[in-house]
Amino acid sequence: MSLLLSRRSFLTLSLSATGLYIGAKLLGANESYPNFSQETFQANAWIRVDPHNNVTFIIDKSEMGQGIQTSLAMLLAEELEVDLESVRTEFAPAAPIYANTLFRVQVTGGSTSIESSYDNLRTVAAATRMLFIQAAAKQWQLPVTECYANQARVFHAASNQSVNYGDLLALAAEESLDTQVVLKTADEYKILGTPKARLDIPAKVDGSAIFGIDITLDNMLNATIKHPPVFGSELLSFDDSAARSIKGVKDIFAIPSGVVVVADTFWHAKKAADLLRIQWTEGNSDINSASIQRSWFGHSQGDASSVESRGNAEDILDESSNQLTAIYELPYQAHATMEPMNCTVHLQQERCDVWVGTQAQGPNHEAVVKLTGLEHEQVHIHTTYLGGGFGRRGEVDFVVEAVQIAQHFDVPVKLIWSRDEDMQHDYYRPASYHVISAALQTDSLQAWRHRIIGPSIMQRVAPGFVPAAMPQWLPTGLKSFAAWVTGGVVSLINDPTLIEGAKELAYKTDNLEIELSHYDPGIPIGFWRSVGHSSNAFVVESFIDELAHQAEKDPYEFRLQLLENKPRHLGVLNLAAEKSGWGSELPPGEGRGIAVHHSFNCYVAQVAEVRVLDNGRLSVNRVVCAIDCGAVINPDTVVAQVEGAIAFGLTAAIKSAITIKDGKVEQSNFHDFHLLRIDEMPSVEVYLIDSPEPPTGVGEPAVPVIAPAVSNAIFAASNRRIRKLPIRPEDLR
Amino acid sequence: MFEVIVNGTAHEVDVDADTPLLWVLREQLKLTGSKYGCGIASCGACSVLVDGQVSRACVTPVSSVVGKPVTTIEGLAGNRYHPIQQAWIENQVPQCGYCQSGQIINTLALLNANPEPTDADIDHAMQGIICRCGTYSRIRKAIHRAGELMREAEES
């Protein structure tokens, strides 16, 4: 049976021996899955209540440390009137009902989980609670309005009666909703907005949490792969005579992306793989970081496309006597999740099971269906915990490989990439080059021109961009995702991954020119925590700081005056400045820097305090962060995500970069791709703005702000302006 | 055949002498709490105690631990959580959680040797264990708290 919830959604109920399943179907959610049959919706719902009164929440987002399992369970528990601690959770299979309502494909990313679930999940939970109340009222023959629910139980106070949800399943399944679902207001919340212990943490302190790499199945084989080290190169031949002498090796063969060793254990597979002698074609061995830089310079001189234009920035800049131009550079960055890419597949005659820590159940489902020729209903994606995601686990490459390997065997096979393969075959955060100019007139920003030179992620990801270059297995669901990202019209010019954070300049100016010069050297690129913002905020916020100094203004006050009509920017900027003690004295050699940025509908300002020693040694001592993410679901999770985002952004600012030599990535492991360590972690203070706005995601928005806050602090401490990341000691000597 | 004693139980494993302890734990004994991160002893996710000392299991040949007691994350809790695990939960330390067994095992070695570590002691002892999620501030707080809890437990 289905009940109309709103113009765009239905509630679906189905009663079975194991309980009552409640789900919601959003109109249009199945558009990207034309082959999927309607019946499957019924069995895959969000809420299952069993006769023992156990409430199970089938969570349609991936838990990669961002606390979403708990935050979503909080939304559900609040409106369903159950204790958060009593909610059991399961990760959802791949199915159209679980499509991200913003992306229209089942993906966890873009800091959208809370935003896309906030109304839907609460509405479904509230409607479910109402059904149970109605069912109890009917059983007692009492007015519905006199009954209420608490702790998975319906009560009638006057008659002192109560009944468990679990005892109302059959009755509730027959109910229909004749009143509108009314959601609680913030002052009625018992759970939302209060710090709640994360549901996943106990299993993560005793070693029992299962990540993809931990999947252990009967008769399972283990595989590893060697990819061509040089981008664009292909397999010529391989000699596996030495590799085959390793005990336990079952088979060695090529798949389109590399050479695979399958053995009884991963250790044997890895040992054998290291003995392979492989000949590859030359590939793009002429690509080097230096040659990329030369091409950037060429593109900075040539033509570019205008992506945002108003007034007449060009002429004003030409004529201004008070103008400043600077060049900024950012490198490729690896995701470097602590858990290397891995996936386990058991392919049988009429069924395929895939165990994987993934952010992209939808695209993976499509890819596996295409590869195996099975029906959607025969492909089962089992989502595990993710040992880090950051965008890397939104890709399907390693899942495709695992299926191609499993096609050789009747038993399950687990593919694990070695760390070297993971580091050298990532989809990197794009490197980019920026030429930026502004004209000042007393205190105002008269004109602003920013030319961005870099590659387009969407051109790789979205089939609509360049159909000819599209791999055969590329999921069709990505089309709708691409359309969402680009606002419906897919073209190079509006690829937000290149221009986000630059195009929508918050600072007031009447003359603006944002230009794009697309240049792709052929290094694989992808979504990296905060995507284009991670680069553009560094450029914009550093350059604004340069302008403040040029205007001989305090960088905080200079920003205030240019953000007059941006109340939420001002809110976080003022809070961060106040809490940091902006303007107070610091010892010699120390400095304070400020930055503010809006991304993913969220506003973040940070003040960093650094110390620069004469030998170039830098320490980031303290970071004060103010965040306006709308209504707060789990305050401690917001704080944790900000702390983590600062560590992630700081790693890219002061520690690591991916560089290219002779067509291959130079770094291969943590000895040469350095991540922030505990002794380098600043003390972080996080302040939340009390906001009535709808909640936004918080996984990404604090990442882009730290690099400019730190580099501006370095300028304050040492008069050295950083225009290239990562910051090296030699830049500070 | 090698005899390994893990969390108080002796196991006979039929592996080559050069097999790293990590893969013996994960693949032979199905103890998957110790993680593979780098394979070159540079991230600490595989940390275990061998004879009470921290050892990077990914580069420790099984032949070198014969007869020595090995403690993994699975061996920490008895009927209830170890004080370190309690402190970890109190401070809501983990995010993705992948590195946390390594963090906890290294904390155990630190607190066994130095029950009341300073921040500098913590930096020194924990510098080798990477957390990509950046839970370092909470790890620091949790170590101080775990020290307290362990001292309390000893006094009572």
Partners of A206 on chain B (C-beta within 8 Å) are: 33, 73-74, 76-77, 81, 85
pLDDT at A11: 66
CB contact under 8 A, A419 and B99: no
The DSSP bridge partners found for residue A5 are: none
pLDDT at A494: 67
Closest CA–CA distance from residue B58 to any residue of chain A (Å): 10
Partners of B23 on chain A (C-beta within 8 Å) are: 265-267
Closest CA–CA distance from residue B67 to any residue of chain A (Å): 22
pLDDT of residue A466 exceeding 50, the answer is no
Find which of B96, B107, B108, B118 to mutate to test the A interface (most A CBs within 10 Å of its CB): B96
Confidence grade of residue A40 (pLDDT, cut at 50, 70, 90): very low
Average pLDDT over residues A187-216: 97
Closest CA–CA distance from residue B108 to any residue of chain A (Å): 13
Question: What share of chain A in percent tops pLDDT 90?
Answer: 78
Question: Which of B27, B31, B122 faces A267 most closely, judged by CB atoms?
Answer: B27
pLDDT of residue A67 exceeding 70, the answer is yes
pLDDT at A437: 98
pLDDT of residue A143 exceeding 60, the answer is yes
Partners of A679 on chain B (C-beta within 8 Å) are: 123-124, 127
The answer on B148 and B97 residing in a single domain is yes
The Cα A703–Cα A328 span in angstroms is 18
Please tell me whether residue A33 adopts helix, strand or coil conformation.
coil
pLDDT of residue B24 exceeding 90, the answer is yes
The answer on B43 and B106 residing in a single domain is no
pLDDT at A95: 77
- DSSP one-letter string for A504-556: T--S--SEEEEEEEE---S--B---TTTTHHHHHHHHHHHHHHHHHHTT--HH
Find which of B133, B135, B144, B145 to mutate to test the A interface (most A CBs within 10 Å of its CB): B133
Query: Does B45 lie at the interface with A, CB-CB under 8 angstroms?
Result: yes
pLDDT at B89: 98
The Cα A177–Cα A574 span in angstroms is 47
**Are A611 and A622 a contacting pair, CB within 8 Å?**
no
Q: Which residue has the higher pLDDT, A541 or A111?
A: A541
Residue in chain B nearest A419 by alpha carbon: B38
The Cα B105–Cα B90 span in angstroms is 17
Closest-CA residue to A548 (of A537, A533, A532, A559)? A559
pLDDT at A482: 55
Q: Which domain holds residue B140?
A: 83-155
Beta A683-688 vs B69-71: how paired, if at all? unpaired
The Cα A589–Cα A612 span in angstroms is 6
Partners of A204 on chain B (C-beta within 8 Å) are: 94, 97, 100
pLDDT at A15: 74
Residue in chain B nearest A384 by alpha carbon: B96
The answer on B67 and B108 residing in a single domain is no
Other beta carbons less than 10 A from residue A180's beta carbon: 9
Find which of A215, A217, A268, A338 to mutate to test the B interface (most B CBs within 10 Å of its CB): A338
Question: Which of B39, B127, B137 faces A683 most closely, judged by CB atoms?
Answer: B137
Average pLDDT over residues A404-412: 98
The two structure tokens encoding residue A518: 């697309």
The answer on B61 and B7 residing in a single domain is yes
The Cα A81–Cα A77 span in angstroms is 6
The Cα A321–Cα A405 span in angstroms is 64
Confidence grade of residue A14 (pLDDT, cut at 50, 70, 90): confident
pLDDT at A713: 98
Q: How many alpha carbons lie under 13 Å from residue A68 in its C-beta half-sphere?
A: 31
Average pLDDT over residues A111-140: 90
Query: Does B63 lie at the interface with A, CB-CB under 8 angstroms?
Result: no
Confidence grade of residue A115 (pLDDT, cut at 50, 70, 90): confident
Q: Which residue has the higher pLDDT, B43 or A175?
A: B43
Query: Does B59 lie at the interface with A, CB-CB under 8 angstroms?
Result: no
The answer on B89 and B66 residing in a single domain is no
Closest CA–CA distance from residue B156 to any residue of chain A (Å): 24
The two structure tokens encoding residue A600: 């993913």
CB contact under 8 A, B32 and A266: no
CB contact under 8 A, A205 and B33: no
Q: What is the CA radius of gyration of chain B?
A: 15
The two structure tokens encoding residue A660: 């290219």
In whole angstroms, what separates CA A210 from the centre of its chain?
Answer: 21
ipTM over 0.90: yes
Average pLDDT over residues A442-469: 77
Other beta carbons less than 10 A from residue A681's beta carbon: 22
The answer on B143 and B98 residing in a single domain is yes
pLDDT of residue A605 exceeding 80, the answer is yes
**Are A703 and A530 a contacting pair, CB within 8 Å?**
yes
Average pLDDT over residues A624-648: 97
A–B CB contacts, 8 A cutoff, strictly below: 173
Q: Where are the domains of chain A?
A: 3-205, 212-283+357-416, 291-332+430-457+495-731
Helix (H) or strand (E) holding A236: strand A235-239
**What is the average pLDDT value for chain A, to the nearest integer?**
90
CB contact under 8 A, A337 and B132: yes
**A291-332+430-457+495-731 matches A3-205 in CATH topology:** yes
Partners of A210 on chain B (C-beta within 8 Å) are: 32
Alpha helix segments (H runs only) across chain B = 21-23, 83-90, 100-113, 119-126, 136-155
CB contact under 8 A, A669 and B38: yes
Side chain identity at B40, as an amino acid letter? I
CB contact under 8 A, B23 and A267: yes
CATH (domain of B7): 3.10.20.30
pLDDT at A481: 54
The answer on B9 and B67 residing in a single domain is yes
Partners of A416 on chain B (C-beta within 8 Å) are: 36
CB contact under 8 A, A205 and B93: yes
pLDDT tens digits, one per residue of A492-546: 566 788 999 999 999 999 999 999 999 999 999 999 999 999 999 999 999 999 9
Average pLDDT over residues A652-668: 97
Query: Does B112 lie at the interface with A, CB-CB under 8 angstroms?
Result: no
Average pLDDT over residues A121-150: 94
**Are A357 and A339 a contacting pair, CB within 8 Å?**
yes
Find which of B49, B84, B137 to mutate to test the A interface (most A CBs within 10 Å of its CB): B137
Other beta carbons less than 10 A from residue B96's beta carbon: 29
Question: Which of A265, A338, A419 faces B96 most closely, judged by CB atoms?
Answer: A338
Partners of A529 on chain B (C-beta within 8 Å) are: none
pLDDT at A457: 87
**Are A387 and A338 a contacting pair, CB within 8 Å?**
yes
Partners of B20 on chain A (C-beta within 8 Å) are: 267
CATH architecture of A3-205: 2-Layer Sandwich (3.30)
Closest CA–CA distance from residue A113 to any residue of chain B (Å): 16
Query: Does B129 lie at the interface with A, CB-CB under 8 angstroms?
Result: yes
The Cα A201–Cα A207 span in angstroms is 10
Confidence grade of residue A462 (pLDDT, cut at 50, 70, 90): low
Average pLDDT over residues A272-280: 98
Closest CA–CA distance from residue B132 to any residue of chain A (Å): 6
The Cα B54–Cα B21 span in angstroms is 13
Partners of B38 on chain A (C-beta within 8 Å) are: 419, 669-670
Q: Which residue has the higher pLDDT, B36 or A121?
A: B36
Closest CA–CA distance from residue B155 to any residue of chain A (Å): 25
The answer on B135 and B99 residing in a single domain is yes
Domain count for chain B, please give it: 2
pLDDT at A683: 98
Which CATH number describes the domain made up of A212-283+357-416? 3.90.1170
pLDDT of residue A314 exceeding 90, the answer is yes
CB contact under 8 A, A338 and B98: yes
pLDDT tens digits, one per residue of A320-372: 999 999 999 999 999 999 999 999 999 999 999 999 999 999 889 989 999 99
Average pLDDT over residues A387-391: 97
Query: Does B126 lie at the interface with A, CB-CB under 8 angstroms?
Result: yes
Query: Does B39 lie at the interface with A, CB-CB under 8 angstroms?
Result: yes
Query: Does B17 lie at the interface with A, CB-CB under 8 angstroms?
Result: no
pLDDT at A7: 42
Average pLDDT over residues B110-118: 97
Query: Does B110 lie at the interface with A, CB-CB under 8 angstroms?
Result: no
Among the four given CATH numbers 3.30.420.40, 3.90.1300.10, 3.30.365.10, 3.40.50.1400, the one describing domain A291-332+430-457+495-731: 3.30.365.10
Confidence grade of residue A33 (pLDDT, cut at 50, 70, 90): very low
- DSSP one-letter string for A652-707: HHHT--B-EETTEES--STTTS----GGGPPEEEEEE----SPP---SSTTHHHHH
The Cα A315–Cα A294 span in angstroms is 28
CATH (domain of B89): 1.10.150.120
Average pLDDT over residues A94-109: 75
pLDDT at A276: 98
pLDDT at A16: 74
Partners of B89 on chain A (C-beta within 8 Å) are: 197, 201-202, 205
pLDDT at A517: 93
Model-level pTM?
A: 0.94
Domain end marker among B23, B52, B74: B74
pLDDT of residue B54 exceeding 80, the answer is yes
CB contact under 8 A, A202 and B89: yes
Partners of A683 on chain B (C-beta within 8 Å) are: 137
Partners of A643 on chain B (C-beta within 8 Å) are: 134-135, 137-138
Question: Which of B74, B96, B126 faces A388 most closely, judged by CB atoms?
Answer: B96
Going by the DSSP 8-state scheme, the letter that residue A112 receives in this structure is: -
Average pLDDT over residues B79-98: 97
pLDDT at A5: 53
Average pLDDT over residues A42-56: 75
pLDDT at A459: 78
pLDDT at A10: 58
Confidence grade of residue A28 (pLDDT, cut at 50, 70, 90): very low
The two structure tokens encoding residue A337: 């999740």
User: In chain B, what are the helix, strand and coil shares in percent, each to the nearest 5?
Assistant: 45, 15, 40
Phi, psi of A451 (to 5 degrees): -105, 125
